[in-house]
Amino acid sequence: MTTTRSRSPYRLSVAPMMERTDRHYRYMARLLTRRTLLYTEMVTTWALLHGDRRRLLDYSECERPLALQLGGDNPDDLAQCAVWAEELGYDEVNLNVGCPSERVISGRFGACLMAEPVRVAAIVAAMRARVRIPVTVKHRIGINGLESYEDLANFVRVVAEAGCARFTVHARIAILGGLSPAENREIPPLRYEDVYRLKSDFPALEIELNGGVRSLDSALSHLQHVDAVMIGRAAYERPILLASADALIFHDRGSSSDAPISCEPRSTMSGPTEPMSSGPMSSGPMSSDPMSNDPMSNDPVSHDPTSSHESSPTAAAGASEPAGTRRELFAQMMAYADAWDARGGRLAPVLKPMLTLFDGMPGARRYRRNLGELMAARVGGPVVPSMRAVVEHLSPDVLDSPLFGPGAQVVGGAFRQREDPHYPSSLTRSSKSVD
């Protein structure tokens, strides 16, 4: 077994996932882990060049470290998009060479670019010529017809020569033209040995392994062979697993001095906020007034949910410290949802990543139903009371259950990381998803 030392600060990342890793999911993820690198959903160059660029690229400062994933095949367009990413403060720009969807193949980007390493190298070179932030590539171990380790190594060698130093490798080939994106994430077998071998053959490169990693324990074991691990579906289906990442993967026990992100709560308040002094959210550490962590309540800038990153009032809604309990997490998300709603933003996308927060605990099913009903409500009332009602039935034991550490295992013995790849199936299916 090779023991590697990662030079990258990002030993763990959450994968780019269309319709999953939007800004609201990322915001919540950041309440659970300060260290893990987060990726946006893939954004195509076409969308950025012709669509509402400001909205597509907007994010909250708290989400950093944050990488923008781009889809495209035109070096000039990709270079221009990388410039925008850098201007907006993204920490990395990543090229999608792993997506097998028909839509992407017809645009001749995504996984089919694995057959064109020289083109990918030209893209990387064009992007690197225009930005200083790292330009990275996420790809497969191959595609049908180009399935050998030698093909993979050749791809990496050619692209690395253009200056890409970090490769995220989904340890499956993509079968183009035969399987759906979802099937392409399940059917081709995982070949972790190929990814390990890449690291051993290209020790100077940062190699991140992706595919089928369902727990931090599993990530730790891959980290014996590679520099970093990217988790996709498991981090969406069970975001709580991220709560242990800083300690387990980054050995960060919570010292704020070396935290890579800064989401300072504002010290002044602009007006009265509703104290959380009664109801199910009233006990525990957040009981006095979780909204006091809400910097948005003092934001003079705008109430426009499409406002640009620089002026985004969601920049730090209560995200000064990682949450320690589900109660804290819920309260911080409630403050965020309230502020988002006040700006005219839709509530359902904010609530969606919260659906699984109490999975495996007493009352989880009712929680999901309540939250689902709130998401479906066409005309919502005030956010805070509605969200409080969603958790009213949960016991203090459940609400105050720690998100990490030994106590995290306790409630009903249920908070164990599950390895079932189909869990929960309702969240893993998406007809529109790409890879």
Ligand X SMILES: Cc1cc2nc3c(=O)[nH]c(=O)nc-3n(C[C@H](O)[C@H](O)[C@H](O)COP(=O)(O)O)c2cc1C
Residues that bind ligand X (CB under 6 A): 15-20, 41-42, 69, 96, 98-99, 138, 170, 185, 210-213, 231-234, 430, 433-435
Any residues with CB less than 8 A from the CB of 355 and at least 6 apart, and which? 368, 371, 372, 427
Dihedral sign (CA 243, 246, 252, 258): negative
Q: Between 236 and 330, name the residue whose CB sits nearer to ligand X.
A: 236
Q: Judge whether 99 counts as a catalytic residue.
A: yes
Q: Are 400 and 329 in contact (CB under 8 A)?
A: no
For residue 360, the Cα-to-chain-centroid distance in whole angstroms is: 22
Q: Are 312 and 58 in contact (CB under 8 A)?
A: yes
Q: Are 169 and 202 in contact (CB under 8 A)?
A: no
Q: Compute the least distance from the CB of residue 42 to ligand X, in Å.
A: 3
> How many helices (H) does the chain have, and how many strands (E)?
17, 8
Q: Are 21 and 38 in contact (CB under 8 A)?
A: yes
Q: Compute the least distance from the CB of residue 2 to ligand X, in Å.
A: 22
Q: Between 232 and 280, name the residue whose CB sits nearer to ligand X.
A: 232
Residue with the CB atom nearest ligand X in the bound state: 232
Q: Between 8 and 218, name the residue whose CB sits nearer to ligand X.
A: 218
Q: Within 13 Å, how many C-alpha atoms sit on residue 359's CB side?
A: 18
Nearest by Cα to 95 from 113, 115, 116 = 113
Q: Compute the least distance from the CB of residue 51 to ligand X, in Å.
A: 16
Q: Compute the least distance from the CB of residue 427 to ligand X, in Å.
A: 9
Q: Are 317 and 335 in contact (CB under 8 A)?
A: yes
Q: Between 36 and 401, name the residue whose CB sits nearer to ligand X.
A: 36
Q: Between 98 and 402, name the residue whose CB sits nearer to ligand X.
A: 98
Q: Compute the least distance from the CB of residue 214 to ligand X, in Å.
A: 8
My answer on whether omega of the bond before 65 falls inside 30° of 0, hence cis, is yes
Options 81, 99, 112, 164, the catalytic residue: 99
Q: DSSP secondary-structure letter at 422?
A: T
Query: d(Cα 400, Cα 252) in Å, to the nearest integer?
Result: 22
Q: Between 69 and 332, name the residue whose CB sits nearer to ligand X.
A: 69
The residue type at 363: G
Q: Compute the least distance from the CB of residue 356 to ligand X, in Å.
A: 15
Residue 396 host element (H or E)? helix 396-399
Active-site residue list: 99
